[in-house]
Structure 1
């Protein structure tokens, strides 16, 4: 059973999500929060598998709440999907950088949201197709203005040559199937390399892998 926490300052929106998830045989709404601070509190109390987090909420907003949840070792198993009506680059970048495993706009189809919860619950990152390329371009743009993080670069050095190669492909937004084609290996082998790299680097999912690839200097602007 996938335990879900709803965080949105609009009661009507929460009611809609609750009505959507209630019929799902593998999902249960554990609690609801109307602001970020309450979302963090309830996450610690209920330990949900997935949090549906609105960005703009009074007081502590969704980005700050996401960052706090992701930074708490006791909530390591909690995945956050950011839901918003806004698709500005900064929101996408910050949501993923702060630890979100998914970023979706609220006008998606109900079936897509249900699918997103399952995808994120099993450990994969999920971004709305419209913002995936935007996210990667944003990392590339910001990477021009900062020096690589030496601590993260040291982590990259712990990877095998093939694992580093795979991470660069993940940072370019390629799927396991696309990586397999590029490297002439099976999709299962590509997935194994990605998983091993994530374990060695201590990241939650592919979205965090993109963050680390750019901030460590492994991937630089212009690479594709």
Structure 2
């Protein structure tokens, strides 16, 4: 049986993952488009910055975010003045940290898809008078639909499984910042192994099902490419 704190952690985790995924798609799409088509000499640097969470320990990023969110920091003071609440150890802090840490899981699939788009098709649409908005929704979005689903799924799943960064900037406050991964750690630390098994098994099943769906969605693309070659 799940305890009330466990259910609250699950709900909070799903809320965090949903909000973070929406923000990641909004911010990641134009960033991925720019990275896919830019010829700027600084492009490799920006790609490295985006990919940094893949190799950087989450506690490092969490530590610097914690310093930035502190009430005596410039950003922390600005947030406190605007909202009346401290940013550190809040749901908003978890969202910011999750967006930064999951950014490459959304940007990289989209960038790879945008790089493979047929340029002549976009140029033909432009010649016929279609502006960028029309080209994006009538050509780019349908052709990149699988990549958007993959990016959203990976961003959502990665947020659900985050531990180090959310612990650093959110702590372990039940009902406020205690997400599922923190609740699992808390159950193990307090020797509640039966509860820990339930939470851990749920995460394993969720991750496996989500990855299966992602691979299933991308399978037709692989088969089509193989036939064309």
Q: TM-score when scaled to structure 2?
A: 0.24
Question: Comparing both structures, which one devotes a greater share of its residues to strand?
Answer: 1
For CA contacts below 8 A with separation 6 or more, give which structure has more relative contact order: 2
Question: Comparing both structures, which one devotes a greater share of its residues to helix?
Answer: 2
Q: TM-score when scaled to structure 1?
A: 0.24
Larger radius of gyration: 2
